Amino acid sequence: MSIYDEIERTTGIKRKSVSAKELLTIRIGGVLKNAFAPRSVKELARLLDEFEILGIKPFILGGGSNVVADDGEIETPVLLTKYIDGVRIENGVAFCECGVKIADVLRLARERDLGGLEFLAGVPLTIGGAIKMNASAFGRQIFDLVERVFVLSRACEKRVCDERACATPLKVVEKKKDEIDFAYRKGADGIVVGTILRLDEISAGESKRLTQEFLRLRREKQPIGLSVGSVFKNGEQPAGKLIEGCGLKGLKIGGAKISEKHANFIVNEDGANASDFLALVETCEREVAKKFNVQLEREFVWLK
């Protein structure tokens, strides 16, 4: 019996083999051999506890909008959170589980003359991913709306605790906004399982207008196609400007290409694989460091 057979036996959650191309927005990567799909926070916590006992760290995958998977077979266990997608809106407040899509929260809010997430229209994010990275665009960030964040923690009562060796089961812990050290593209630490958002009071018509405007701006500035979104974080100078300054716009390796519209985007133009994407990333890093003495910081996550 393999360790994954044991996980299935103890949790009752079956693993499956799935192509990364089905899960990631850039449609790149090999086969995830050990994917688990919990349907609740309780199931997610149980899986994590079991992996902790075995000394294995699984990869937690939400909407897949900032992830690139390696080519070939990937043995790393992956926990899919997209089915943990409950949401309700009461008195101007949205209670969201980690797997719910930003688009769904925006739609439900609009039905109640509420909004605030229009600036993320068109971004294939889940709430969990948005909170984890403090998703931002057009001068707004999701933490402008956050009141509470819920994370899984050991919540051990010991004054000193090594969480890796702690037998205390994972529990949901509530954190107030002022308890979180959020910043540009930096949100809540730990395993985010939900959030409470204070939505803006806005008519459905105005929400639709703003959504269309942000979609128009996004189409003007960003390429249409398969991508992870921004490849690098912006520093004192925008990463796209630095890459453009190296004359790399339009550079193509295999099926991957640095966008001619925005150089901080790498698009899967023609059946790209992970090695094509990574080769372009490394080219950008090398050339920007050489010309501008700036070390680009990757924004995407590599699953291998």
Q: What is the pLDDT of residues 168-218, one digit of tens each?
A: 789 999 999 999 999 998 999 999 999 999 999 999 999 999 999 999 999
pLDDT of residue 1: 75
For CATH 3.90.78.10, list the domain ranges present in the chain: 224-303
Q: What are 138-179's pLDDT values in tens digits?
A: 999 999 999 999 999 985 544 444 444 455 789 999 999 999
Asked whether the beta carbons of 232 and 296 are under 8 A apart, the reply is yes
What's the fold here for domain 224-303? Answer: 3.90.78
Residues 15-54: tens digit of each pLDDT: 999 999 999 999 999 999 999 999 999 999 999 999 999 9
Q: How many CA atoms lie within 13 A of 278 on its CB side?
A: 14
Is-contact 170 151, C-beta < 8 A? no
Q: Is residue 223 very low, low, confident or very high in pLDDT (cuts 50, 70, 90)?
A: very high
Q: List, by residue number, the catalytic residues.
A: 185, 230, 299
pTM (two decimals):
0.92
| Average pLDDT for 125-132 | 96
* Residue extent(s) of CATH 3.30.465.10 domains in the chain: 87-219
User: CATH code for 87-219?
Assistant: 3.30.465.10
**Mean pLDDT for the stretch of residues 243-255:** 98
Helix (H, G, I), strand (E, B) or coil at 200: strand
Instruction: Tell me where in the chain the CATH 3.30.43.10 domain(s) lie.
Output: 3-80
Angle, alpha carbons 262-253-60 (nearest 5°) = 70
CATH of domain 3-80: 3.30.43.10
Amino acid identity for residue 23 in this structure = L
Phi-psi region of 73 (alpha: psi -120 to 50; beta: other; left: phi over 0): beta
